[in-house]
């Protein structure tokens, strides 16, 4: 009999505890709904429920800790601004405007939006191509975890004002750490002194295998350079005579060492034989996300879009307005 009474007492106690927990949860839901949805003050909630202001505050804090209340902060800048009408006019899949956050550079803001698109587009087990630029060097810091994928360096290393060839080649390895896949590095300069030297380098096994790996890219990240001093990383590597010839031929943009005219056509010249990097046909087979940092050169963005080399373009607000103005 004592055993039976003890068991009955235990059941009643468990039931009482269960009722108290349910009442406590119901109270938290009620307080949270009135406070966060209706805007009722903690003082008024205390009066309505016969509690102290401090008890209300404690219960609301517990509601957050227990997941009854979930507060989501949406940064309107984080996703960028999608300009679908402009994308249709350009004939590309998307145009994203990257607004700067406080303390953030324009190039870092563009790289952050490239990272967002890359995270969405890169398939598991895929192959990612990357070309270094002063904008895309900010890419690793903007990335979280990516799908597992191999990484292919699209062009040979180069240096530019304030940046070394080591930083250029390190980008592919840094992205490889994010994707946890094989890295196909390109241990050559972007452009060499002669076609003979370039041919000799392309014949090297490690160079040939990387260039061949670009045949099956799923996604690539590149930068659109305007064809002028300071806007193209290739410009300073060309001889003055080649710079002049390119200008006279109407070149307005450069992507991965590929020179483009205003109509998007690739400019073919002897210079191509000295460049070591991805070919136009290889880029056209991939989903290409392009960063466009050159404010004041909307013609470069238009040429890139017309070339068929890029699918998604990320640019700053000022350049976006300049590109849109081309269609007015």
- Note whether 98 and 59 are same-domain residues: no
Domain end: 65, 95, 119, which one?
A: 65
CB contact at 8 A, 121 and 288: no
Residue 178 and residue 53 in one domain: no
Please determine, for residue 54, whether its predicted confidence score (pLDDT) is greater than 50: yes
Residue 66's CB: how many other CB atoms inside 10 A? Answer: 10
Residue 4 has pLDDT above 60, yes or no: no
Query: CA torsion sign, 167 to 170 to 172 to 175?
Result: negative
What CATH code is carried by the domain that includes residue 19?
1.10.10
Tell me the pLDDT tens digit for each residue of 121-152: 999 999 999 998 889 999 998 988 889 999 99
299 and 169 in a single domain? The answer is yes
Give percent above pLDDT 70 in the chain: 87
Q: Which of 11-15, 20-24, 192-196 has the lowest mean pLDDT?
A: 11-15
Evaluate whether residue 73 is within a structural domain.
no
CA atoms within 13 A on the CB side of 129: 31
Q: Three-state SS for 97? A: strand
Residue 159 lies in a domain: yes
Would you say residue 44 lies in a domain?
A: yes
CA-nearest of 290, 277, 275 to 226 is: 290
Q: Which of 213, 195, 252 is nearest to 126 (CA)?
A: 213
71 in a domain, yes or no?
no
| Mean pLDDT along residues 316-327 | 93
257, 266 contact by CB (below 8 A): no
* Same-domain check for residues 30 and 169: no
Q: What is the pLDDT of residue 317?
A: 92
What does the pLDDT average to over 164-182? Answer: 82
pLDDT of residue 180: 92
Helix or strand run (H / E) with residue 184? strand 183-184
Do 157 and 306 lie in a common domain?
yes
Do the bridges between strand 251-255 and strand 312-315 make them parallel or antiparallel, or are there none, so unpaired?
unpaired
Q: Residues 83-126: pLDDT tens digits?
A: 889 999 999 999 999 988 889 999 999 999 999 999 999 999 99
User: In this predicted structure, which of 11-25, 147-161, 240-254 has the lowest mean pLDDT?
Assistant: 11-25
Q: Are residues 186 and 103 in the same domain?
A: yes
Domain count, the chain: 2
Asked whether residue 59 falls in the same domain as residue 173, the answer is no
Name which residue leads in pLDDT, 192 or 72.
192
* Paired strand residues for 153: 130
Same domain for 270 and 310, yes or no, is: yes
pLDDT of 32 strictly over 50: yes
Q: How confident is the model at residue 17, as a pLDDT?
A: 47
Q: What is the CATH number of the domain that holds 244?
A: 3.40.50.1360
Residue 72 lies in a domain: no
Is 75 part of any domain? no
Residues in Cβ contact with 195 at an 8 Å cutoff, skipping those fewer than 6 apart = 270, 273, 274
Is 33 found in the same domain as 110?
no
**CA 202, CA 196: separation in Å to the nearest integer?**
10
Query: What is the model's pLDDT at position 76?
Result: 53
Q: Is the pLDDT of residue 232 over 80?
A: no
Where does a domain end: 10, 38, 65? 65
Tell whether 166 is covered by a domain.
Answer: yes
Selection from 159-163, 189-193, 236-240 with the highest mean pLDDT: 189-193
pTM: 0.75
Say yes or no: 90 and 192 in one domain.
Answer: yes
Domain stops at, among 40, 65, 90: 65
Quote the CA–CA distance of 217 and 277 in Å, as a whole number: 14
Position 6 pLDDT exceeds 60? no
Q: Residue 116's pLDDT is what? A: 93
229 with 299, same domain: the answer is: yes
User: Do both 51 and 95 map to the same domain?
Assistant: no
pLDDT at 1: 41
State the pLDDT at residue 9: 59
pLDDT in tens, 237-281: 788 888 888 889 999 999 999 999 999 999 998 888 999 999 999
- Confidence at residue 240, expressed as pLDDT on a 0 to 100 scale: 86
Helices (H) and strands (E) counted in the chain, each on its own, are: 13, 11
Q: Which domain holds residue 151?
A: 81-325
């Amino acid at each position: 009999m004592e055993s039976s009474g003890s068991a009955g007492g235990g059941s009643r106690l468990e039931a009482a505890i269960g009722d108290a927990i349910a009442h406590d949860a119901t109270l938290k839901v009620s307080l949270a709904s009135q406070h966060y949805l209706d805007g009722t003050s903690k003082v008024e909630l205390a009066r309505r429920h016969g509690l102290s202001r401090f008890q209300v505050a404690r219960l609301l804090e517990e509601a957050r800790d227990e997941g009854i209340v979930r507060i989501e902060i949406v940064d309107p800048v984080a996703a960028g601004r999608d300009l679908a009408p402009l994308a249709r006019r350009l004939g590309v899949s998307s145009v994203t405007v990257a607004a700067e956050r406080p303390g953030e550079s324009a190039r870092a803001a563009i790289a952050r939006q490239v990272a967002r698109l890359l995270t969405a587009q890169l398939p598991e087990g895929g192959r990612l191509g990357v070309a270094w630029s002063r904008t895309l060097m900010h890419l690793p810091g903007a990335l979280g975890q990516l799908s597992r994928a191999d990484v292919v360096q699209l062009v040979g290393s180069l240096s530019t004002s304030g940046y070394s060839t080591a930083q250029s080649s390190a980008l592919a390895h840094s992205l490889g750490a994010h994707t946890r896949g094989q890295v196909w590095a390109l241990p050559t300069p972007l452009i060499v002194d002669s076609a003979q030297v370039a041919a000799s380098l392309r014949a090297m096994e490690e160079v040939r295998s990387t260039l061949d790996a670009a045949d099956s890219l799923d996604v690539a990240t590149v930068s659109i350079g305007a064809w002028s001093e300071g806007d193209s990383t290739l410009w300073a590597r060309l001889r003055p005579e080649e710079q002049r010839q390119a200008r006279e031929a109407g070149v307005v943009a450069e992507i991965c060492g590929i020179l483009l005219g205003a109509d998007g056509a690739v400019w073919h010249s002897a210079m191509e034989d000295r460049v070591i990097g991805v070919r136009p046909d290889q880029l056209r087979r991939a989903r290409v996300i392009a960063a466009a940092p050159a404010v004041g050169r909307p013609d470069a963005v238009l040429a890139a879009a017309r070339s068929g080399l890029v699918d998604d373009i990320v640019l700053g607000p000022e350049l976006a307005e300049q590109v849109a103005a081309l269609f007015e």
